[in-house]
């Protein structure tokens, strides 16, 4: 994922704003009926996963958006969603065309 995308996700979810609120975040990426999960970063207010998640998909896809959800993992109760963002495929993929 491009560094600019990571910076935008940080701004959307406000990870830079309050370092006192430590969470155990993980990322859930969903596209075209498939879901992948990052590893959990325990007690972290400014997570950086530095992890590749590969979603094999055929293009063009019936799905236009990828869902990126950051969740606070909880050992004893239900996980809490921190935030969800949708990324349009048109913003990260080039349109198809004929080769000359």
Question: Which domains, ranges and CATH numbers included, belong to the chain?
Answer: 3-16+23-92 (2.60.40.150)
Contact 26, 13 (CB under 8 A): no
pLDDT for 2-58, tens place per residue? 677 767 676 666 655 555 568 999 999 999 889 999 999 999 988 999 999 887 776
- Whether residue 60 is preceded by a cis peptide bond, meaning omega within 30 degrees of 0, is yes
Helix, strand or coil, per DSSP, at residue 7: helix
CA distances, 12 to each of 52, 76, 88 (Å): 20, 27, 15
- Which residues make beta-bridge pairs with 23? 44
């Amino acid at each position: 994922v491009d560094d600019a995308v990571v910076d935008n996700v940080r701004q959307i979810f406000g990870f830079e704003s309050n370092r006192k609120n430590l969470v155990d975040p993980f990322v859930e990426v969903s596209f075209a009926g498939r879901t992948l999960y990052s590893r959990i970063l325990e007690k972290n207010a400014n997570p950086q996963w530095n992890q590749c998640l590969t979603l094999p998909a055929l293009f063009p896809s019936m799905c236009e958006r990828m869902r990126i959800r950051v969740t606070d993992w909880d050992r004893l109760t239900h996980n809490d969603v921190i935030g969800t963002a949708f990324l349009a495929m048109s913003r990260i993929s080039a349109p198809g065309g004929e080769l000359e």
